[in-house]
Each structure stands twice: as structure tokens, then as C-alpha cells.
Amino acid sequence: MNVKNNNIESKRLSFWEKLYLPEVVRGLSLTFRQMFKPAITRQYPEEKWIPEGSYRGRPVLVMEEEGERCVACGLCSRVCPAIAIEVQAAETEKDKERYPELFEINMLRCIYCGFCEEVCPEEAIVMSKDYELVFEDREAAIYGKDKLLVPIAQLQDRLEFLRQYRNV
Amino acid sequence: MTIPEALIQVLITGIKIFMIFNVVLVAAAYMVYAERKVSAWMQERIGPNRVGPYGLLQSFADVVKLVMKEDIVPAAADKFFHTLAPLISISVAIAVYSVIPFGNFITIAGRDIPLSIAPDLNIGLLIVLALTSVGVFGITLAGWSSNNKYSLLGGLRSSAQMISYELSMGLAVIGVLMLSNSLNLNEIVKAQSGLKWNIFFQPFGFIIFMVAALAETNRAPFDLAEAEPELVGGYHTEYTGMKFGLFYLAEYANMLASSAIIATLFFGGWQVPFLPEILGLKEGSLILVLLQTGAFITKTLVFVFIFIWIRWSTPRFRYDQLMNLGWKVLLPLSLANIILTGIGITLWDYFTK
């Protein structure tokens, strides 16, 4: 097979192209026009980005009026690939019979994969829109129930998203 | 008691040096700001806006940061030359301003004070070309004394590039010299009175000079000396703190000097076309001086903007392309320009006399 490949040699430039200057002027006009376009910069600490419902921020526990939804089944703890979740169950007088006495997520370990949310039978742990996670020491990075419980009203976007796409 | 004439001259020159020195350094600081702002606008960003109103104090914050940083000299470096290199760069960059006229003259107490540090220097333009060539030493020494192969390559590239473009730059200026019959920059400006700007007679000379000036100041698209992808940081890889800051300032001072020289040689320097004649202003009066200096600064700033504009629009030349352009294109063109100018002047003289 002796097929001549015409792509090997690059195309010779014409005299006009060899001058460079016309193309340089075209480039300059482009950047000049660009100068008058509005900036797309978001000035972060003042202007915050509000994510969509599909965003996987820090995982939180859903809190309804009578308390958390969680029944302390421990599936999230089991499925967590980073072993970030620890749950200790206890009994309660309420209908659901069980509740988490201790629920801790180590935010230094969490990889925001959303498996805990996927596996949860009660839709009790969901990913929130919160992406500003700053701690001053490792102790502070372990979030207990005080930080994890979030009123259901703040999680409507995520719950709506889950309802639409969970079983697709 | 009368003050001796020599002392007055020294005093006047001292005041002029002090003023120009400060103006140049502050202008260089603000050019860093301008560069960042213009590049931001071209990339649809905002740019520095935190330090002071509209980020105007950003450059000073940067200088304070650089001064407070640790000054590291590599163990294997040649300490003397490592320290000398940035000093050469910055002092040469500032020395160029000694011959640039920023106005004709001002009359104070019956005395005509020319508005440049060395006004009667009849080799003004040669001094400019000579000093910009000395600037190569700063960069080459920085590359060599760092004892780092990338720095050395950066220094080598820059010296090869500057020597190549020096020739075209010098030859491009000859056309202007032939028109004005003088090397004194103030005489060159005076020869361009009444909108007889050299740009209209020397368009090729201007383009060649502009390209060569970009290469001389190591600006994009000819900033091979600091090509990050190939040479880490170029000749100033091993510099920290204020020594690095001096190189940075020198780059901008050089750019400002080049802009001022382009404005002087091709765009009539401090000449304000027609307006003084219409208003009937006397040479040496304060208003005319302010007008002239304003015109000069405006023209210079336009070229500063063009320099920045070009930097953020063009990709970097490859080394062989750079040498091709310098030796095979610009050098013959500048020689042709001299011949054309000579023929033009001869024909003009023949038909008008």
C-alpha cells in the first residue's frame, strides 16, 4: 500500500498571511471589542452562588416538626465509602420506635458522593446546598446532630429533585 | 550675594531629576495596575478592585509585599553579579528619561528652563539606543549569575533577541534622522511642528520601530526571555523579594520609555498641533507648557495602552520565527526604508528648489 498522505506537509502561507500584520490587526480588534463586554466575575464573599437542587453539598439530616426523620438503621454508615458516618441507635416512644442517639459525620472524610442519600429508606439524609465548609481544627470538623439537623423547609429543592430523578 | 550660575544649574537639574525619577517610578507602578485592569477587561473579568477605590493602591500593596519578602540568593549563585543585575536593569531603564523632552521650555524669573534633564545633548537619540542595549547586560547577567540552566537560557535568548532587533531599531530611526537633520530629541520634536509628524512620512519606519521596541522591551509577542512553559520563569527564576520587583519595575519603565520615544520620534512629542497658534500662547508660558506636557503624556499613554493591548492579543513567537522576522524581514525592510527616504528627500529638494 503506497498511499500518499497529503496531511504531512503543512500548507504554505500566502504572502498576505506571511505579513502577519493583517492577522495581528484582526486579533487586536477582537480583544478591543472584548473590552466593552460586561465582566462575568462573581465577587464571592459578597455575591454568593446559590446552587440548583441537583447540587451535592454537605449531607444533612431532615428535621420535621416532631423531630428527625432518621430511624437509625445505619445503612448510610454502612454504604459510606469514606467511612465518615457514625450512627448509634436508641429506642423512642414514637411511632418510628428508633432514633439516632448519636449521629456524626466527619466532614474531613466526606467525599460528597451522595451514597448515604441514595441508600436511605426514609429520605432522612439528603445533600444540601451548603458548600462553605470551614473548620479551625479537626474536632470542629466532626459534625454532630446539632449541625446536621436542618428544617425540612430549607431542603425543598433537593427533595423535589430526588422525587423527580431518583428512580429514573 | 549672588548665587553662582553653576549652582543654579545643578539645582535646576536636581529638581528635574527628582521629579522625573518619582514620576517614572509611580507611573511604572500604575502601569502594572493598568496592565492588570486592561487584561481583565479583555478577558471579561474585573481585575484588581480591593485595595483602595477601584483597586488603585494595588501596586503599592504589591511593592510592600515584595519588600517584606525574604531575599533568597541561591547557594551556587555568583552573589556579586546576582545583586548587580537588577540594579543595572532598573538604572538603565530610568537613565533613558534623561534625554526625553516633555515640553519645550518654561520661563521662570526671566530664565528659560528646558524641560528635559539633558536638553542640549546633541547625541540624544544615540544615548537612548546605547542605554537600551546596556539593558541587555542586566538580563544576561541575571540569567548567568543565577547558576540555573533555565535562567541562563532565558538570559541567552533575551540577549540574542535584543542584539537582533537593536539593528532594525537603529536603522528604522535613520529615516527620522534624515528628515530632521538632528540627533537631539528636542530638535526632532521641533522639526515636526504643525502636524508634520514623522508618522506621515515614515509609516514603514514606525511599524519597524514599533515591532523592534516590543522585542527590545521583552514584551509579548517577543517575551521569549520569560516563556513560562519552557523556562520556568526565565531570567528572573532565582530572584525573590524586591530584586524581582526591580526587574518588574524595569520592564515597565522600559515600556514607558519606549512609548515616550515612539511618541517623540513619530508623533510629534510635546507638539500640540494648531491650538497654540489659535490661542496665541507665548513660548515658555505656563499654560503652553502644561498643554505640551499634557500632549506628550497623552501620546505616551496611548502607546502604553497599545503595548498592553498587543500583549494580551498575540501568542508568543517561536524562537526561529523570531530570528526569521528580525534578520530576514525587518532588517531588509529597514534598509529599504532608508533608501526610499533618501530618494524621497532628494526628489523633494530637486523639485522644490
Write the pLDDT tens digit of every residue in A71-87: 888 899 999 999 999 99
Over residues B312-316, the mean pLDDT reads: 84
Region at A64 (left for phi over 0; alpha for psi -120 to 50; beta for the rest)? beta
Nearest of B135, B334, B160, B144 to residue B246 by alpha carbon: B135
Nearest CA in chain B to A32: B42
**Can you say how many angstroms the Cα of residue B314 is from the centroid of all Cα atoms in its chain?**
20
Q: List beta partners, residue A126.
A: A60
Q: Using CA atoms, how far apart are residues B318 and B308, in angstroms rounded to an integer?
A: 20
Which band of pLDDT confidence, cut at 50, 70 and 90, is reported for residue B331?
A: confident
The C-alpha cell 507602578 sits at: B29
E strand segments, B18-152: 105-108, 111-114
- B98-107 tens-digit pLDDT: 888 887 777 7
Instruction: Inform me whether the pLDDT recorded for B323 exceeds 70.
Output: yes
CA contacts within 13 A on the Cβ side of B320: 0
Over residues B55-63, the mean pLDDT reads: 86
- B7-22 tens-digit pLDDT: 888 888 888 888 888 8
pLDDT for the residue A81: 92
Q: Using CA atoms, how far apart are residues A102 and A116, in angstroms rounded to an integer?
A: 16
- B75-113 tens-digit pLDDT: 888 888 888 888 888 888 888 888 888 877 777 777 777
Residue A103, classed as helix, strand or coil, is strand
User: From the CB of residue A16, how many other CB atoms can be counted at a distance below 10 Å?
Assistant: 10
> CB distance from A37 to chain B under 8 Å?
yes
- What is the share, in percent, of chain A residues with pLDDT greater than 90? 15
The H-or-E segment that residue A101 falls in is strand A98-106
> CB distance from A10 to chain B under 8 Å?
no
Nearest CA in chain B to A23: B314
Residue B276, classed as helix, strand or coil, is helix
Give B312's contacts in chain A (Cβ within 8 Å).
31
Of A17, A36, A41, A44, which to mutate for an interface test with B (greatest number of B Cβ within 10 Å)?
Answer: A41
CB B188 within 8 A of CB B269: yes
Distance from CA of B327 to the nearest CA of A (A): 15
Over residues B197-215, the mean pLDDT reads: 85
The H-or-E segment that residue B295 falls in is helix B286-311
Expressed in percent and rounded to 5, the helix, strand and coil fractions of chain B are 70, 0, 25
Residues 106-165 of A with CB under 8 A from B: none
Of B45, B310, B325, the CB nearest to A41: B45
Of B40, B43, B314, the CB nearest to A27: B314
pLDDT for the residue A97: 83
Nearest of A111, A36, A121 to residue A73 by alpha carbon: A121
> CB distance from A24 to chain B under 8 Å?
yes
Task: Kindly determine whether residue A40 and residue B44, on different chains, have CB atoms separated by under 8 Å.
Answer: yes
The H-or-E segment that residue B166 falls in is helix B149-180
Instruction: Inform me whether the pLDDT recorded for A1 exceeds 70.
Output: no
Contacts of A83 (CB under 8 A, 6+ apart): A109
Task: Kindly determine whether residue A39 and residue B41, on different chains, have CB atoms separated by under 8 Å.
Answer: yes
* Cis preceding linkage at A59, omega within 30: no
Give B44's contacts in chain A (Cβ within 8 Å).
34, 37-41
- What is the share, in percent, of chain B residues with pLDDT greater than 90? 0
Task: Kindly determine whether residue B313 and residue A31, on different chains, have CB atoms separated by under 8 Å.
Answer: yes
The H-or-E segment that residue B334 falls in is helix B331-352
User: From the CB of residue B264, how many other CB atoms can be counted at a distance below 10 Å?
Assistant: 29
Task: Kindly determine whether residue A39 and residue B45, on different chains, have CB atoms separated by under 8 Å.
Answer: yes
Crossing angle of helices B124-145/B79-95, nearest 10°? 160
Nearest of A133, A138, A132, A161 to residue A52 by alpha carbon: A161
Q: Using CA atoms, how far apart are residues B36 and B252, in angstroms rounded to an integer?
A: 13
Task: Read off the C-alpha cell for A39.
Answer: 465582566
Task: Read off the C-alpha cell for B32.
Answer: 502594572
Task: Kindly determine whether residue A31 and residue B207, on different chains, have CB atoms separated by under 8 Å.
Answer: no
Q: Using CA atoms, how far apart are residues A80 and A117, in angstroms rounded to an integer?
A: 10
Instruction: Inform me whether the pLDDT recorded for A9 exceeds 70.
Output: no
> CB distance from A31 to chain B under 8 Å?
yes
Distance from CA of A28 to the nearest CA of B (A): 6
Of A20, A30, A34, the CB nearest to B44: A34
- What is the share, in percent, of chain B residues with pLDDT greater than 70? 97
Query: How many CB pairs below 8 A link A and B?
Result: 37
The length of chain B in residues reads: 353
Of A20, A31, A43, the CB nearest to B42: A31
CB B235 within 8 A of CB B154: yes
Over residues A112-124, the mean pLDDT reads: 89
Of A28, A37, A41, the CB nearest to B309: A28
Which band of pLDDT confidence, cut at 50, 70 and 90, is reported for residue B155?
A: confident
Task: Read off the C-alpha cell for B203.
Answer: 509609516
Nearest CA in chain B to A34: B42
Q: Give chain B's mean pLDDT.
A: 83
